[in-house]
Structure 1
Amino acid sequence: MTNVDEVGKSSGSARRRQVVAEYETYLRLERGRSPHTVRAYLADLSALFDFADHRGVELAALDLATLRAWLGDRAAAGAARTTLARQASAARTFTAWAARRGVLASDSGVRLRAPRAHRTLPGVVSAGDAAAALASAASGAAEGDPQAVRDHAIAELLYATGIRVSELCGLDVGGVDFGRRVVRVLGKGDKERVVPFGGPADAALQRWLAVGRPELVNEKSGAALFLGARGGRLDPRAARTVVHQVTGSVPGARELAPHGLRHSAATHLLEGGADLRVVQELLGHSSLATTQLYTHVSVARLRAVHEQAHPRA
């Protein structure tokens, strides 16, 4: 026979699953969070619930003390500051939503704070190494292999625009304006922006559309600009592999992930004299403070500009 405690536990689990399903819908449809962010927030929420269960705290009784104890437990387990900051954000987002929906009597996470995350920068390659990597990709695409042609176009476009790999994979053929040399990008929060690209990316894209994409296209392709080996829209994981291979093709150069290539593009723009707010717009940053992380120009560059510009240098 099923005892009363088991019935209560089963009922609580069903209620929690319903709440999580509704919360996931809220994150995806109302907040416009990316699939990656939704997965991360739900994983954090699952970890929080497990912790609360272990302490005998039911969902409706989730309070600030439990939230703080959970973060403390994560910190003691060795979680990085960036992870703790994300988990605190996930908890606050959930409790604010849960309070509005009546799941919680009040927003218990409104005063939850985590250690400030250290903003670390990804690796960066020199402009010379970037050019060498792209030349290597162009050489590999010379014989017309569809995937090699695609990989060259991916690398050229990412470096030319500094767009995110998720934004690249979301591009449609109609989103490229060759007349004005711009791509229409759908970024975080479903915000659309227009980003220019130069001659090398133009040529690589034109070749991909002329001789590469037609070889891979099928009924699964739809309007996707970049396609995977089976003809569907290119997956971000496959695009990351492409970037690692292209940047790793230059002996002695740093192998980069797509964010490193984005960082390199932003750094080279700023070192070339681009205005910080223009770079902010190109990268799709909502805050100028985020873009300022890219201003780590070398001491040699600073000295050269100082000597050129300052009357008392």
Structure 2
Amino acid sequence: MSPSDALAQFKSYIQLEKNYSEHTVREYESDLLYFFGFLQSEGINNLHDVEYIHARLYVTKLYDESLSRTSISRKISAIRSFFKFCNREFGLKEEAFRSLYHPKKEERLPHFFYEEELQQIFQATEGEDHMSLRNRAILELLYATGIRVSELTSLEEFDIDKQLGILRVMGKGRKERYVPFGQFAQDALEHFMDEARPKLMKQSKHNFVFTNMRGQPLTPRGVRYILSDLVKKASLHTKIYPHMLRHTFATHLLNNGADLRTVQELLGHSHLSSTQVYTHVTKEHLRKTYMNAHPRA
């Protein structure tokens, strides 16, 4: 069986039956093509010839390339899913990767903004021009809801209930959830949609809420650029990545008394363990506050 034929059928399966997002499908394809390249370099052209020793050699190669443990774990998961599919559909042996252990994840705490830092970034969006109104709406909504950037750029007009202050969000694995947002986000969103968006949309026709300055749908890369530019304007000596606002949303909620289950539901996490990392962040926040504030610390 040729790897390319099996990959084409696997892609159809995860797109149509598993409802994986385009981004996830691209990642799976990229991971598998990289693995196929390794097999070719080992002189293996048939998937039936893959053994446990090849799996071990491949993982060793990934470590030699200094990839993070998270990246290696993701690649193993993609290959396992592929072999499981091929086992069910074509009787391919799947033991080679099933026997591998996932590398232990690095214990890294999520980075987040303190409220003072966030206020400086909000100040960088001040202005009544189209760009400022759009950027403020993006920042307010990301912080108010904790949604992922891919979820933000996928938002359409009918996903927003302005009366109830609720977003309908399509998350990972095409899972739908509803997320509330507050008055600050509502005001910024309405201001953008009433004043700036109609003028930006003169040359375009689509239902996506956020656009670039030419009226085309905004991309996740575009949002990353916008946020980096705001951090520069705010003169903060830090790097920003979009997930920092998601981390900030969760951390601030927990610091102010929200329970873990509620935060899990708002973030759209399938497992509570994914949300529990934020309890470590809040404990670290308490420790730093204590060390800075107590006279005998």
Identity %: 36
Code of the aligned partner of 1:127: E
Contact 1:98 1:107 in 2 (8 A): no
AA at the equivalent of 1:251: S
| Corresponding residue for residue 270 of structure 1 | 254
Query: Structure 1 residue 34: deviation in Å?
Result: 2.3
Does 2:8 align with 1:24?
no
1:216-295 map, 5 Å: 216-218=200-202, 220-252=204-236, 254-295=238-279
Match of 1:168 in 2: 152
1:47 — aligned with what? 34
SS in 1 for 2:216: coil
In 2: Cα distance, 1:200 partner to 1:74 partner: 46
Q: Deviations over 1:62-111 (max 9, x none)?
A: 22221122111211232221111111111101100111110624554322
Counterpart secondary structure, 1:297: helix
TM-score (norm 1): 0.85
Tell me which of 84, 101, 114 is aligned to 1:113.
101
Gap change, CA 1:119 and 1:286, over 3 Å in 2: farther
Aligned to 1:66: 54
Cα shift at 1:124: 1.3
Q: Deviations over 1:200-254 (max 9, x none)?
A: 1100000111011101115644211111222222111001111222233323453
CA distance in 1 between counterparts of 2:263 and 2:43 reads 50
Instruction: Look up the equivalent residue of 1:56 and give its one-letter code.
Output: G
* Structure 2: tracts of 5 or more residues without a match: 291-297
Is residue 33 from structure 1 mapped to residue 32 from structure 2 by the alignment? no
Spell out, residue by residue over 1:248-282, the C-alpha distance to the aligned partner (whole angstroms, 9 max, x if none).
Answer: 33234534211011111111111011111111111
Cα distance change of structure 1 residues 191 and 119 upon mapping to structure 2, 3 Å threshold: farther
Shift of 1:119: 4.4
Larger Rg: 1
Aligned residue in 2 for 1:136? 124
CA distance in 1, matches of 2:203, 2:19: 28
Across the aligned residues of Structure 1 and Structure 2, the Cα RMSD in angstroms comes to 2.1
SS in 2 for 1:217: helix
TM-score normalised by L of structure 2: 0.90
* CA 1:107–1:33: 2 relative to 1, 3 Å: farther
| 1:182 paired residue among 161, 166, 175 | 166
Q: Secondary structure at the match of 1:125?
A: coil
* 1:124 correspondence with 2:112: yes
Q: Do structure 1's residue 96 and structure 2's residue 47 form an aligned pair?
A: no
Whether the aligned pair in 1 keeps the contact of 2:161 and 2:167 (CA below 8 Å) is yes
Would you say the 8 A contact 1:157–1:197 is kept in 2? yes
C-alpha separation in 2, matches of 1:299 and 1:73: 36
Q: 1:152 aligns with which of 136, 139, 162?
A: 136
* Structure-1 separation of matches of 2:205 and 2:100: 45
Segments of structure 1 that go 5 or more residues without pairing to the other structure are 1-11, 306-313
Pairing 1:215–2:202 present: no
Counterpart CA distance in 2 for 1:85 and 1:19 is 22
1:297 maps to 2:297: no
Whether 2:71 is the aligned partner of 1:83: answer yes
